[in-house]
Amino acid sequence: MNVGILGSGGREHAICFCIKKSKNVKNIYCLPGNAGTSTIAENIQIDMSDFHAIKKFTEEKKIDLLIVGPEKPLVDGIVDFFLDTKVKIFGPNQAASQLEGSKIFTKKLCEKYNIPTANFGIFQNPNESKIFLKKTNYPIVIKADGLASGKGVYICENKKDALIAIDEIFAGKFGEAKNVLIEEFLTGEEMSFFIVTDGNDIKLFNTAQDHKRVLEGDKGKNTGGMGAYSPSRLINIDLENKIINQIIHPTLEGLKEMKIEYSGFLYAGLMIKNDNPYLIEYNVRMGDPECQTILPRLESDLTNIILACCEKKLNEIEIKWKKDNSICIVLCSDGYPEKYKKNVLIKNLEKINTDDKNYCFHAGTNIIDKKTYAVGGRVLNFVSLSSNFSEARKKIFDSLNNLNWNEGFYRKDIGYKVIDK
Ligand code: AMP
Ligand code: GLY
């Protein structure tokens, strides 16, 4: 079988690594991939938004299975675009991808089906929004409706911040805005909760805790994710049942009532307060860096899971997990998440030892003349598995010391909630 993987981040390198282990897979093409994927698959330079070019490529290379990593092509309808082809494409269709593509779509669904989430209001213009602000308490959360690469969310401590958020959103900072979402600020601890579904059955796909802020102690700007650990320290069978029964099932059933079938990974970003889950947001894909910390814990064959999903046979398989915990630390370029240098040489990669407990997944990297360069803000993901979170983290620190890349930085406190108590 020939497999295509769409995307170029750490998530896609981790997916590629798992697919590569499968006996049934012959060729893997990463569209466009990164330096890491180029060592285990073939990278193809292609514009991820050019669906015609991608389709043509899948025909030329006789691709049987196309796995979509990031949200943008899903929200833009790549799955619908491939409906008339023989290619099995893994991910939700455009209607289902509204769960991530429109925060307001999701909030309305929550309202209709009593799914626990922050109280909210939807406002059509700056004036209406500002009138609402007169009678509100702070902090408050203001969000642009559509995809904004994680940047369209403002946590506002006071009215001044809130006015800036409203003006920026309506001025089109995140694309044309017909409305804004204003939400109650939820307190508690966050958890990333994953399932995989074929439209009929759902299977759990484990949990993780991301660390979104750039500085230690969860301070500073929001980033794409500075590291993660898995499983979340919060998960237990009672909470799992609440999440499935109060959030996941009503969502998928609600979609079905709208004649929308959901298939693929579903990632619920949750706030857990007093052992109760509240939905912050949905993503229609695996998380990054959650994927890098979860997949090495997977005992079962990822290709089989994905194929079972495409063939609506998820009920026929069992998903098994290793007992070990895992930690992922992201090495970033100096300056990230603001301006950072591009095309910075990374030496010493050959000094990184990898085995079945220690992994190095690439993100923003590129190979030119057999040399690896950092080209993105998040550069490398170091993952380690152990029964003991602290040991896993020590192993990663050893790898980072061996690499000794002095053009970048990483958070030394990833997993502090399960280690530095
Ligand atoms: P999102 O892009 O919706 O995941 O939001 C980014 C981050 O903002 C989340 O991971 C939370 O840390 C935070 N956030 C979003 N909505 C809320 C909320 N209603 N209450 C508290 N924090 C929130
Ligand atoms: N880890 C956050 C995200 O993937 O959106």
DSSP letters of 226-244?
SEEEES-TT--HHHHHHII
302 and 196 in a common domain: yes
pLDDT, one tens digit per residue, over 177-220 is 899 999 999 999 999 999 999 999 999 999 999 999 999 999 99
* Residue 162 scores a pLDDT above 90: yes
Residue 34 lies in a domain: yes
Question: What would the mean pLDDT of 248-274 be, rounded to a whole number?
Answer: 98
Residue 104 lies in a domain: no
The finding on whether 225 has its CB within 6 A of some atom of ligand 2 is yes
CB–CB of 163/155 below 8 Å? no
- pLDDT for res 171: 93
Give the whole-number percent of the chain exceeding pLDDT 90. 93
pLDDT, one tens digit per residue, over 44-87 is 999 999 999 999 999 999 999 999 999 999 999 999 999 999 99
The band of 135, judged by pLDDT with boundaries at 50, 70 and 90, is: confident
394 and 285 in a common domain: no
Instruction: Say if residue 73 is preceded by a cis peptide, omega within 30 of 0.
Output: no
Residue 105 lies in a domain: no
Residue 413 lies in a domain: yes
pLDDT, one tens digit per residue, over 170-187 is 999 998 889 999 999 999
> Residue 176 belongs to a domain with what CATH number?
3.30.1490.20
Residue carrying the six token digits 């979402």: 181
The finding on whether 301 has its CB within 6 A of some atom of ligand 2 is no
> Residue 50 belongs to a domain with what CATH number?
3.40.50.20
Question: 197 by DSSP, 3-state: which?
Answer: strand
197 and 178 in a common domain: no
Range of the domain at 345: 325-419
Residue 380 lies in a domain: yes
213 and 176 in a common domain: no
The finding on whether 30 has its CB within 6 A of some atom of ligand 1 is no
pTM, whole model, 2 decimals? 0.97
Q: Count the domains in the chain.
A: 4
CB neighbourhood size of 168 (10 A): 17
The finding on whether 211 has its CB within 6 A of some atom of ligand 1 is no
The finding on whether 290 has its CB within 6 A of some atom of ligand 2 is yes
The Cα–Cα gap between 277 and 166 comes to 28
The Cα–Cα gap between 170 and 177 comes to 5
- Examine the fold and report which residue of 184, 203, 225 is the final residue of a domain before the chain moves on: 184
258 and 370 in a common domain: no
302 and 214 in a common domain: yes
- pLDDT for res 232: 98
72 and 10 in a common domain: yes
How distant, in Å, are the alpha carbons of 198, 237, 318, 385 from that of 301?
17, 24, 10, 18
In angstroms, what is the span from residue 287 Cα to ligand 2's centroid?
Answer: 4
Report the nearest-CA residue for atom 3 of ligand 1. 281
Q: Nearest ligand to the C-alpha of residue 119?
A: 1
CB–CB of 33/8 below 8 Å? yes
378 and 334 in a common domain: yes
Q: Nearest ligand to the C-alpha of residue 221?
A: 1
> Which backbone phi and psi does 383 adopt, to 5 degrees?
-125, 135
359 and 306 in a common domain: no
Closest atom of ligand 2 relative to the 289 alpha carbon: 1
Q: Nearest ligand to the C-alpha of residue 10?
A: 2
DSSP letters of 267-297?
EEEEEEETTEEEEEEEESS--TTHHHHHGGG
- pLDDT for res 177: 87
Rounded to 5°, the CA angle 391-383-236 comes to 75
The finding on whether 280 has its CB within 6 A of some atom of ligand 1 is yes
* Average pLDDT over all residues of the chain: 96
DSSP letters of 90-131?
ES--TTTTHHHH-HHHHHHHHHHTT--B--EEEESSHHHHHH
297 and 248 in a common domain: yes
Residue 108 lies in a domain: no
Closest atom of ligand 2 relative to the 11 alpha carbon: 4
* Residue 268 scores a pLDDT above 70: yes
Question: What would the mean pLDDT of 307-336 be, rounded to a whole number?
Answer: 98
* Residue 151 scores a pLDDT above 90: no
211 and 171 in a common domain: no
CB–CB of 107/171 below 8 Å? no
The band of 134, judged by pLDDT with boundaries at 50, 70 and 90, is: confident
> Which backbone phi and psi does 125 adopt, to 5 degrees?
-150, 165
- Examine the fold and report which residue of 168, 184, 200 is the final residue of a domain before the chain moves on: 184
Question: What would the mean pLDDT of 377-401 be, rounded to a whole number?
Answer: 97
> Residue 297 belongs to a domain with what CATH number?
3.30.470.20
- pLDDT for res 207: 98
Tokens in use for 235? 């998960």
Q: Nearest ligand to the C-alpha of residue 71?
A: 2
The string over 178-203, giving b where at least 16 C-beta atoms fall within 10 Å of a residue's C-beta and e elsewhere, is ebbbbbbebebebbbbbbbbbbebbb
The finding on whether 269 has its CB within 6 A of some atom of ligand 1 is yes
Question: Bridge-partner residues for 277, per DSSP?
Answer: 272
Q: What is the DSSP letter of 173?
A: B
> Which backbone phi and psi does 249 adopt, to 5 degrees?
-60, -50
189-197/180-184 β-pairing: unpaired
In angstroms, what is the span from residue 200 Cα to ligand 1's centroid?
Answer: 30
Instruction: Say if residue 126 is preceded by a cis peptide, omega within 30 of 0.
Output: no
- Examine the fold and report which residue of 286, 316, 346 is the final residue of a domain before the chain moves on: 316
Residue 375 lies in a domain: yes
Residue 98 lies in a domain: no
- pLDDT for res 146: 85
The Cα–Cα gap between 309 and 298 comes to 16
The finding on whether 283 has its CB within 6 A of some atom of ligand 2 is yes
The band of 421, judged by pLDDT with boundaries at 50, 70 and 90, is: low
* Residue 32 scores a pLDDT above 80: yes
* CA terminus-to-terminus distance, the chain: 47
The finding on whether 268 has its CB within 6 A of some atom of ligand 1 is no
126 and 18 in a common domain: no
